[in-house]
Amino acid sequence: MVEKAALENVQDLVKLRMLLMKELGELNGNEELFRKATEEYFTANINNPHSYTAILKANGEIVSAGSIVFFIRPPSPSNLQGKEAYVMNMYTAFDHRKHGYSSAILKHLMQYCQKSGVNRIWLNASSAGKSLYQKHGFIEYESEMEYKFEKN
């Protein structure tokens, strides 16, 4: 059963996020700094009304999680309220895949968004995750660009 993450789940969320970043090849030697920053993020935001993290347990262990952050943009013709949600941190532990856990997390997040008055949900998908999102009605666009500031 999918449920809202709580403060006592922070260490499990950190563990899953570390596994996600390792799988994506994003860890670059600063694992301990990243672990600490991730722990601080979840601790500070687990009860933030502008974000929501869902978890799923198997045999008492958190094996899947996903988060959304809410924000308000200026109105657009297709979204007059401007309320949007960004899906992030979707991950299911490798040994627990192919059981529908990510699908259950995503459905839960989508329902939460709908109840919260969100008109648009968006995300960046890994190649492994695209089919999951497409199955739930997400449409792929190629319009995003990114800029990263160099570290001093």
Tens of pLDDT, residue by residue over 67-107, are: 999 999 999 998 899 999 999 999 999 999 999 999 999 99
Position 38 pLDDT exceeds 90: yes
Check: CB of residue 111 under 8 Å from CB of residue 5: no
On whether the pTM is more than 0.75, the answer is: yes
Q: Residue 152 — very low, low, confident or very high, per pLDDT cuts 50/70/90?
A: low
* Ramachandran area for residue 29 (φ above 0: left; ψ -120 to 50: alpha; else beta): left
Check: CB of residue 11 under 8 Å from CB of residue 42: no
The owner of tokens 């199955």 is: 135
Q: Please give the average per-residue pLDDT across 41-58, as a whole number.
A: 96
- Residue 150 pLDDT: 78
User: d(Cα 103, Cα 140) in Å, to the nearest integer?
Assistant: 18
- Residue 54 pLDDT: 98
User: d(Cα 54, Cα 52) in Å, to the nearest integer?
Assistant: 7
Mean pLDDT over the full length of the chain: 93
Position 112 pLDDT exceeds 80: yes
How many degrees, rounded to 5, is the angle at CA 118 between CA 54 and CA 70? 60
Three-state secondary-structure class, residue 120: strand
**Number of residues in the chain:** 152
- Residue 128 pLDDT: 84
Domains of the chain and any CATH numbers: 2-135 (3.40.630.30)
- Residue 100 pLDDT: 96
Position 145 pLDDT exceeds 90: no
Position 151 pLDDT exceeds 90: no
Q: What percent of the chain has pLDDT over 90?
A: 80
